[in-house]
Chain A
Amino acid sequence: MTEVDPRVLARARARVTGPVADAAAAPVPAGLVGVTDGERRWALPAWPDGATPALLEEYQSAPMPLERPGPLRRVLAAALRCCWRNLDDDPWPGRPAQIADVLEVHVASVRGDAELMRRWAVGDLRRLADTGWLLLDEEAGTVRLGPRTALWPPESLPPLRALLRRMPPPPAEGA
């Protein structure tokens, strides 16, 4: 067995496993950026020169095919509405929110059978959690924004802020 550079190995592992929480003090492999919320640290791929994968879409080569991206992103928007409460700050790390609240916001902002929408939205929440966009704690029934939201460049956020201001508020606040 040949000796593999442990840093290379760490990077390969991070790329294979996707964002996995580690101790906050753990070193970040080269080529990745560490995103920390104080206790834990996620290693995420770093892009050169502040570009994001959105650049690929400008060149019309999608980085990864997404199933039903529209509904998925609408669920993400609902989660953002509930977790990113202080819109003047950065979205990351945000606050935990009740999954039920996110579902309510989602149902209130889209058309369709409410029960069906809830069920689909739960599936979308899990998919988003699998890819590091949300942190889902199904036992506690809470959801938080995932480490990937920390990679949004600040200059791309204003339209999102404007959108979230127009979305219906979570029920606890509206009541």
Chain B
Amino acid sequence: MPSHREPPQTLEDVLAGEAVLGVYRQMFAALARDAGAVVDDPEMVDIAETLLSAFAEAGEEGLSREQMRHVCRHYPAEAFENRLRVLKGLGAIREVFPKPNQLRYRASFTSVVGLMFVRRMMRDGGQSEMHRLLALEQLNVADPRMTAEQARDGAEGLARAFRLWSVELVTLTHSTIEELREQAPKLWGTAEIIERAERLHEAILRRWPELEDACTELRAAIHAYGDASRRAAARLADSAGTTRNLTLLPAESWRTFARTASREELAAVLEGFVFDAPAPWHDPAAIVAAVQEGPRTVPPRPAPPRPAVPDAGLVERVPAGRSETDRLAAVAEQVLRGRDRVPVGEVLERDWPAARRLLADLSAAHLRPELPYRLVWSDGLRVRPDGSPSWLSDGVFERTGRAS
């Protein structure tokens, strides 16, 4: 089903949605009747989640159909109907009392837990689930009610999971960088998992020595997993070093590298770079500001009083406000070069930083009423992909003839 809500989706969004769906498909592959049975739009999962959280807030009253529609008002109607039908059909949402013409609905607890589980699986591809499974198994093994048969089942299940995991990691060793980055979370913290698994294996073997064969299988699977993950991790570390792609490794790995690497290794990272010597700039204005803001011993000396009439000593010096006008006039005269008007396009025929400044000066000259220049723009736009600037409006810069 196409996405209805926000048509302009970026490729990144589509990719992220596709990754999420990939996890769903993999998880429910064991239960699906045919390949089309699993959702193919991330929005559909969002609808389900919105509905379930609305049910949680509604309490024992449940929600009517209208209320459900209101909660999902941001989603298109047909998508909502479709979702509701499926959720009802599978029993995730059902009538409060099973009788005809029932108008209020409640949500199933199991579906909510299932969705939470799915979201968690999505984050690290099931690695934390493995941690939890191992911890649970460990508790089970210590439980006096546990039978040898159950322990065998547990050991065999774990061995199978580790086998499949290591197969996936082996393919990772030969895959592309993109795939490697996607799957990278599966590689983090493997040492801890191996340690836990070995502890569990020991516990089973100590309590039920007769399960030797199942334990051998488990041990082999753990070792295979350890090898595969080490090899994939080496590949990952290599690629991370050569691509400078910082997302390939977790931040902790980079921090550890920065702390433990030798000086040569650290220097090699920036081999071939040249750095400018430190050149701080102290602008006169900044110096003045620093001195004026600084703590003082004596109250600041007041500036010497200025006479109200112009001082003869100042007549020759150009006042500050005047000099900017003069500068603009000089720029304008330089552009006009004796002519009365000049096309702006011709003047701006130069690299953009210089053209930009010139344009700013010309605009300033235009805006000063005391200067006899103006910019006149006309319609028309020239696009020049190879030129600089890459587009130009037609216009002329001209002398108006009225002097200040």
Is B390 close to A, CB under 8 A? no
Sample of 4 further A-B pairs with CB below 8 A, known A16-B276, A71-B290, A76-B287: A45-B279, A132-B279, A152-B283, A163-B288
A1-40 to B contact mask, C-beta < 8 Å, 1/0: 0000000000010011110000000000000000000000
Nearest chain B CB to A15 CB, angstrom units: 5
B286–A109 touching, CB < 8 Å: no
| A48-B353, A73-B290 known; A16 vs B275 contact (CB < 8 Å) | yes
Please give, as numbers and ranges, the residues of chain A lying within 8 Å of B146 by CB-CB distance: none
Let me know if A111 is at the binding interface, CB within 8 A: yes
A171 close to chain B: CB less than 8 A: no
Which B residues are CB-close (under 8 A) to A18?
Answer: 277-279
**Complex: chain B residue closest to A54, CB-CB:** B283
Q: Which of B164-172, B177-185, B295-303 contacts A (4 or more CB under 8 A)?
A: B295-303
A116 sits at the interface (CB 8 A): no
Q: Are A133 and B282 in contact (CB under 8 A)?
A: yes
Given the complex, which residues of B lie within 8 Å of A109, measured CB to CB? Answer: 291, 294, 296-297
Do A73 and B354 have beta carbons less than 8 Å apart?
A: no
- Say yes or no: is A174 at the interface (Cβ < 8 Å to chain B): no
B285 lies within 8 A of chain A by Cβ: yes
Which chain B residues numbered 103 to 148 have a C-beta less than 8 Å away from chain A? Answer: none
Q: Is A123 in the interface zone, CB < 8 Å from B? A: no
Which parts of A127-175 form the interface with B (CB within 8 Å)? 130-133, 148, 152, 155-160, 162-163, 166-167
Interface size on A, residues (CB 8 A): 45
Q: CB within 8 A of A70: which of B276, B290, B297? A: B290
- The answer to whether the Cβ of B320 comes within 8 Å of any Cβ in the partner chain is yes
Instruction: Please give the residue numbers on chain A whose beta carbons come within 8 Å of chain B beta carbons, in ascending order.
Output: 12, 15-18, 45, 48-49, 52-54, 57, 63-64, 66, 69-74, 76-77, 80, 108-112, 130-133, 148, 152, 155-160, 162-163, 166-167
- Could you count the A-B residue pairs with CB atoms below 8 Å apart for me: how many are there? 107
* B residues in contact with A166, CB < 8 Å: 300-301, 303
Contacts of A64 in B (CB 8 A): 278-281
**A80 and B287 in contact, given A111-B296, A166-B303 (Cβ under 8 angstroms):** yes
Do the beta carbons of A16 and B280 come within 8 Å of each other?
A: no
Which residue of B274, B283, B284, B320 has the most chain A CB atoms within 10 A of its CB atom? B284
A15-B283 contact given A48-B353, A110-B294, CB 8 Å threshold? no
Among B288, B301, B323, max chain A CB count under 10 A is at B288
User: Is there an interface contact between A159 and B279, defined as CB atoms closer than 8 Å?
Assistant: no
At the interface, yes or no: B293 with Cβ under 8 Å from chain A? yes
Task: State the CA gap A79–B202 with chains docked (Å).
Answer: 76
**Contact across chains for B287 and A73 when beta carbons are under 8 A apart:** yes
List the B side residues contacting A48 at CB < 8 Å: 353-354
For A45, give the chain B residue with the smallest CB separation: B279
Asked if B199 CB lies within 8 Å of chain A CBs, one says no
Chain B proximity of A21: nearest CB distance (Å): 14
Provide a sorted-by-A list of 22 A–B residue pairs whose CB atoms are within 8 angstroms.
A15-B274, A17-B277, A45-B279, A48-B354, A49-B357, A54-B283, A64-B279, A64-B280, A64-B281, A66-B280, A69-B290, A74-B294, A77-B290, A80-B287, A109-B291, A131-B280, A148-B282, A156-B283, A159-B288, A162-B288, A166-B300, A166-B301
